[in-house]
Structure 1
Amino acid sequence: MVFNLRSFSFADSIEDDPPPPPKSFSLKELRVATHNFSRDNFLAEGGFGKVYRGHLADGSLVAVKRARTVDQCSKEQFETEVLVGRSVSMHPNVLRLRGFCRTKKELLLVYPLIINNSLSYNLTERPDRCARPLDWTTRKRIALGAARGLAHLHDQGTIKIMHRYICAASILLNVQFEAVIGSFCIAMIMHERNVEEGTIEWRTRTPRHGTGVSFSSPLEENSADSGFDSQIYHCYEDVYVNTLACGIIGFTAPEYSYTGKCTLKNDVFAYGKMLLELISGQPIFDFFPEVHDGEALWLEDWVRKHMNEDQLGRVIDPNLQGNYVDEEAKQLVRLALLCAHEDPSVRPEMSEVVQMLESQFLQRDSSTRSSWSLSERESTPYYSFPPSPSPPLGIGP
């Protein structure tokens, strides 16, 4: 399905009760809550700054994000998170902004404390991850919860929210190890004033030697001695926002990276990459050095190669020690590759992804074309997916 400005409605109302607006905290309140940002309350550090555990006067536990510096970049990230926090309706799989504090020297964001850290931490950093890995049932629940949260962001009624930073690090796990989407510092809100409808055009270049493909901007000059044999132009019609490409290396969709036209399908692409990490337990960057027929393999290429060779066991996180359901694993791999497809017109919408997962994992009888058993996309074999491009150089927050 292709969105257009006629069907891409901004007029629908949100049926859910609106959440309470984020509270404006005083700096004194947050100093008290975090014991003056003590080392004992330090949790983590990201691009925005340090994160501290806090205990508010009402007894609730929070995570307080404190900007490293107050500069133009941190101000923009702060304002974006506050704007998204004021705009998004409540959902169990979306992190809700509790409040904020802004002074001349401080920028602080207050979120509920998510006790089990991020998916990335649990897959690659947690000390006991090998002895006590996330089990298969939990991984299925994470896949579905993240899909539900992202679909909710994409269907806010009066607005649509593009996350632009979906990855294992932005998927948090609550006390039940359910997925909660956070990290909204580079999110974009689509509304009537900033969207356009039109053609997104980019091209692939086929090297004279080798079988890989490389992506380039449609504005790039064509060099006769560039070492490429042919160019294939791709066109996609959708509603988009024109903006500088921003995201994480390997998680930014090729059409967005090379045109600056961002659609909701960029989030779908990133979700597919995140699913591959969830399934394999491997970050995509670990596959830079792996070489096949003279070419470096990315995680999706590596997964596709083993699936074509009927080696599912090589793809699944070895820490699971074979404790998974083969057919479910195959379907989840297929969905991940579908979402991470280089062609945005092939990627499903997040609402379709939710239907697919619910049909498969919750045993729901679905008669829609999004059903795993009835989907036209499902009949596509692994080997027919085209090679993935080298990931673009995105910018993480």
Structure 2
Amino acid sequence: MLSLSSTTTIITATILVFYLHHTTSLPPHAQLSTCHVTSFNCGTITNLSYPFTGGDRPSFCGPPQFHLNCQNGIVPELIISSVSYRVIHVNSEAHTLNLARLDLWNETCTNVYVNSTFDGPTFSYGSGNQNLTLFYECEASSRITETPENLFHCWSNGDKNNSYSLVGPFPLDPILEVVECDEHVKVPILIELADRLVKNRSLLGEVLMKGFNVNYMNPYETECFECLASGGVCGFDSDNDEPICICGDQLCATPGSSKVAVAIGASVGAVGALVVILGCVYFVLQRRRKIAYNKQRSSMDLFMPPSSGDTFASTTNTSQSLSSYQSSNTDPMPPRSNYFGVQVFTYEELEEATKNFDSSKELGEGGFGTVYKGELKDGRVVAVKRHYESNSRRIEQFMNEVQILARLRHKSLVTLFGCTHRHSRELLLVYEFIPNGTVADHLQGRSTKSTNLLPWPIRLNIAVETAEALAYLHAKGVIHRDVKTNNILLDDNFRVKVADFGLSRDFPNHVTHVSTAPQGTPGYVDPEYYQSYQLTDKSDVYSFGVVLVELISSLQAVDINRNRSDVNLANMAINKIQNQELLEFVDPYLGFERDYAIRRMTTGVAELAFRCLQQEREIRPSMNEVVEILRGINSSDGLGAREETKVLEVRTDEAILLKVSPVSPDSVVDKWVSGSSVSNSS
């Protein structure tokens, strides 16, 4: 009779033979290495990446649903449910497209009588759309006494036919009661243009060319992430209808999502199930023995003195595993202990400190939990973060924050006082209390402690101290991963305390990146991180660039009430700087027009933000370089600069930020300084 190990060996060998004979159908002489190029252009759309293919990027580099026709050299075309669309815009960060019907481009008539539908797993209707129905080959009734406003004509087989456009749900127009139409086409339009179209039917062609919004989702996202994590790049085998993982110019040894992997998983799973069953039998037998043994010991324990060494051991080992945190809650709760070197509080202590988590004690609410103000029995005022849930993901974030903050000490990082025990009923973190709210509160006027929206010297100091904190993190091998003004706290002296390390990641000095699914706050996340799934310290640099433009403009990172092109503040800042419109972008409260010294410093910070927000991470400066630049700008705010304004008449054209190149060695600040010197000497 075969043993369990022998059976496992035979099954595994069979699986390997099957795996080695598996082949993937790809085009002959396919140069798989071309998929390693992270971005490509298709017509007027630039910096496209996986899952899209087209142009110089072969179709086997991504799923067929995302293949673009770039042959006309003008705009990319995408086929969805047999209908061709022109791709006007791609937002890879938000996973949205702006599309327009190809057959209705610069044309209101069509012979493609197919509705535009987006109800599949890959493409779905985006926000901000309104339905439009076009009716063709209509016969008007004699009951029509005057020409309808929504009438237009199309030619079919040499004949002119009546056609009508109807905005809104179908049918809702009296015209349909007096006409009969053979064909109709439904297509979305932008909701902000729908009202204009109702008022002016002549705009029909223009409205159709503005397109509509569509969300997209790559159904092979998980498999692609696994491939990237293993060092490969993502591709697709259309013949076998499965994703592939490419290493160099060949397939990786273990493609993340092939059918072979499914077969291997099923076979190994069967073996695993057998092992689990045998293990359960063994566990039951051992459990019965232990119960019998404990019954025998219990009678002896009545006559034995209690042990004095039964305490929870202190530890500073930062590699303690997640499983240890989730271990059995039958262990005794010690009166006081440490976890990763920080104090462990009981749930009851923190419940009492926050008055049973009274709503009046709430300081703020984030994506992971609510923060309460509390007072410990020793008199310390603290901030207690209460995680919403205790699932495995929340526990991992909780442990991550404890491990990272326990070993970091910096004047501009929030101090972690402690946390609840691993057996506590809830996951609670205890920080020093920072009384003056967040930078976002002050910039957006939500703070009750500030009578103004932060003068320029304080904003510049916030930038310097935040940059110093991030540079310290990077030197310690930590990427914050969620840098934003809501996570920058201010004390009573407006000194910075960077907080919230739940998403932070360790980043050893010897690695170039960490492969991980993109996480963070919309508007702050590095766009290249979205494209490559590779997290680096330059991802923090991008997020900090968004913080800089917030400090300059007092605008939110994302605001759907702004013009469409300006919803994302980073894009808005880039456009304003490139178009020499900094004056329109800067918060008027700062005195940009009145004070030459402030104008010069604001201009320097704007240029630095411009460099931090570059799409390609290699172009962005390091945080150490950012710190040095900001310190240099800050040191220029002195008597000399202010005396200069008294004797120097600043020309209007010098007040406009010059169009700069991210790779230019000459900074705008240098140009201002040299220009000032010349003017002063003359």
TM-score by length of 1: 0.70
CA–CA separation in structure 2 for the residues paired with 1:258 and 1:105: 39
Once the 2 structures are TM-superposed, how far is the Cα of residue 289 of structure 1 from its aligned partner? Answer: 4.4
SS in 1 for 2:548: helix
1:73 to 359, 377, 393: 393
CA–CA separation in structure 1 for the residues paired with 2:373 and 2:489: 15
Amino acid in the other structure paired with 2:513: Y
Once the 2 structures are TM-superposed, how far is the Cα of residue 80 of structure 1 from its aligned partner? Answer: 1.0
Aligned residues: 302
Amino acid in the other structure paired with 1:137: P
CA–CA separation in structure 2 for the residues paired with 1:127 and 1:243: 36
1:317 to 584, 587, 593: 587
Residue in structure 2 matched with residue 210 of structure 1 by the alignment: none
Residue in structure 2 matched with residue 95 of structure 1 by the alignment: 414
For residues 42-84 of structure 1, the C-alpha deviation after alignment (integer angstroms, 9 at most, x for no partner) is 2222122221111122322110001122112221211111111
SS in 2 for 1:169: helix
The verdict on how the C-alpha distance between 1:253 and 1:115 changes in structure 2, with shifts beyond 3 A counting, is same
Greater fraction of residues in helix: 2
CA–CA separation in structure 1 for the residues paired with 2:420 and 2:414: 18
Equivalences for residues 43-58 of structure 1 within 5 A: 43-58=363-378
Equivalent residues of 1:119, 1:172 under 8 A apart: yes
Equivalences for residues 210-225 of structure 1 within 5 A: none
2:492 to 167, 172, 175: 175
2:471 to 145, 151, 174: 151
For residues 255-278 of structure 1, the C-alpha deviation after alignment (integer angstroms, 9 at most, x for no partner) is 221222111100001100111111
The verdict on how the C-alpha distance between 1:131 and 1:361 changes in structure 2, with shifts beyond 3 A counting, is same
Establish whether residue 272 from structure 1 lines up as the match of residue 592 from structure 2: no
Residue in structure 2 matched with residue 299 of structure 1 by the alignment: 569
Residue in structure 2 matched with residue 225 of structure 1 by the alignment: none
2:501 to 179, 184, 194: 184
Gaps of 5+ in 2: 1-339, 638-661, 670-682
SS in 2 for 1:166: coil
For residues 343-363 of structure 1, the C-alpha deviation after alignment (integer angstroms, 9 at most, x for no partner) is 111111111111111112124
CA–CA separation in structure 1 for the residues paired with 2:450 and 2:500: 27
Establish whether residue 349 from structure 1 lines up as the match of residue 622 from structure 2: yes
Establish whether residue 336 from structure 1 lines up as the match of residue 606 from structure 2: no
Amino acid in the other structure paired with 1:170: N
Once the 2 structures are TM-superposed, how far is the Cα of residue 288 of structure 1 from its aligned partner? Answer: 7.0
Gaps of 5+ in 1: 1-19, 197-238, 365-374, 383-397
The verdict on how the C-alpha distance between 1:326 and 1:378 changes in structure 2, with shifts beyond 3 A counting, is farther
The verdict on how the C-alpha distance between 1:78 and 1:278 changes in structure 2, with shifts beyond 3 A counting, is same
For residues 305-336 of structure 1, the C-alpha deviation after alignment (integer angstroms, 9 at most, x for no partner) is 33345433311113435466100000000001
Aligned-residue CA RMSD in angstroms?
2.6
Which structure has more relative contact order (CA 8 Å, sep 6+)? It is 1
Equivalent residues of 1:288, 1:298 under 8 A apart: no
Amino acid in the other structure paired with 2:573: V
TM-score by length of 2: 0.42
2:436 to 116, 137, 140: 116
Residue in structure 2 matched with residue 256 of structure 1 by the alignment: 529
Amino acid in the other structure paired with 2:627: V
Max radius of gyration: which structure?
Answer: 2
CA–CA separation in structure 2 for the residues paired with 1:35 and 1:130: 27
CA–CA separation in structure 2 for the residues paired with 1:265 and 1:80: 21
Establish whether residue 84 from structure 1 lines up as the match of residue 357 from structure 2: no
SS in 2 for 1:247: coil
Once the 2 structures are TM-superposed, how far is the Cα of residue 184 of structure 1 from its aligned partner? Answer: 0.4
Residue in structure 2 matched with residue 370 of structure 1 by the alignment: none
Establish whether residue 28 from structure 1 lines up as the match of residue 301 from structure 2: no
Equivalent residues of 1:287, 1:299 under 8 A apart: no
Amino acid in the other structure paired with 1:188: R
For residues 93-120 of structure 1, the C-alpha deviation after alignment (integer angstroms, 9 at most, x for no partner) is 1112110003342100000111111111
Amino acid in the other structure paired with 1:117: G
2:383 to 33, 55, 63: 63
Equivalent residues of 1:334, 1:378 under 8 A apart: no
For residues 223-247 of structure 1, the C-alpha deviation after alignment (integer angstroms, 9 at most, x for no partner) is xxxxxxxxxxxxxxxx111111111
CA–CA separation in structure 1 for the residues paired with 2:361 and 2:431: 15
CA–CA separation in structure 2 for the residues paired with 1:54 and 1:40: 11
Residue in structure 2 matched with residue 245 of structure 1 by the alignment: 518
The verdict on how the C-alpha distance between 1:34 and 1:297 changes in structure 2, with shifts beyond 3 A counting, is closer
The verdict on how the C-alpha distance between 1:259 and 1:310 changes in structure 2, with shifts beyond 3 A counting, is closer
For residues 151-189 of structure 1, the C-alpha deviation after alignment (integer angstroms, 9 at most, x for no partner) is 010112xxx000000011111111111221101010001
SS in 2 for 1:94: coil
Larger displacement relative to structure 2 (254-263 or 166-175)? 254-263
CA–CA separation in structure 1 for the residues paired with 2:349 and 2:425: 16
The verdict on how the C-alpha distance between 1:378 and 1:59 changes in structure 2, with shifts beyond 3 A counting, is farther
1:105 to 401, 407, 425: 425
Equivalent residues of 2:484, 2:524 under 8 A apart: yes
The verdict on how the C-alpha distance between 1:128 and 1:29 changes in structure 2, with shifts beyond 3 A counting, is closer
CA–CA separation in structure 2 for the residues paired with 1:311 and 1:129: 32
For residues 22-57 of structure 1, the C-alpha deviation after alignment (integer angstroms, 9 at most, x for no partner) is 211122221222122222322222122221111122
Equivalent residues of 2:364, 2:372 under 8 A apart: yes
Residue in structure 2 matched with residue 379 of structure 1 by the alignment: 666
